[in-house]
Amino acid sequence: MKRELAPFFWSMAEADRCPIVICNLEHEILYMNPAAKENYAKWGGDGLLGKSLLDCHNAQSGEQIKRVVSWFLENREHNRIYTSHNEKKKRDVYMVALRDEAGTLIGYYEKHEYREAETMRRYDFG
């Protein structure tokens, strides 16, 4: 049943307006949704796929990323951590653990959540 949901999760990530970047435990960028490719265009956009996330950060940030992954590994309940806020873009950024069906850590992703009120009219089909 869970494998049957894969196309739905793919579609959900592709349609999300917030950047989503998925990495494995070696910090290799495996996936970037369209919003992430656009958000990180000046740093290479989809050219970042297959590269190390650590190469996209300074040494201090890289150490924090490694520290978070170690924290994820410590306990199966360690699954989400707040990493930053961008006041200009009104968004919070999180690292979120990705686990397989047995609960084993297999990677992580960066999730942005915007804190501005939606400007779109409700149910605007036009």
Q: How far apart are CA 123 and CA 64, in angstroms?
A: 41
Domain ranges of the chain: 18-114
Reported CATH class of domain 18-114: alpha beta
Record the pTM: 0.88
φ, ψ for residue 22, nearest 5 deg:
-105, 135
Give 70-121 pLDDT, tens digit per residue.
999 999 999 999 999 988 888 899 999 999 989 999 999 998 888 777 787 8
**pLDDT class of 25 with cuts at 50, 70, 90:** very high
DSSP 3: G
What pLDDT does residue 1 have? 56
What pLDDT does residue 40 have? 94
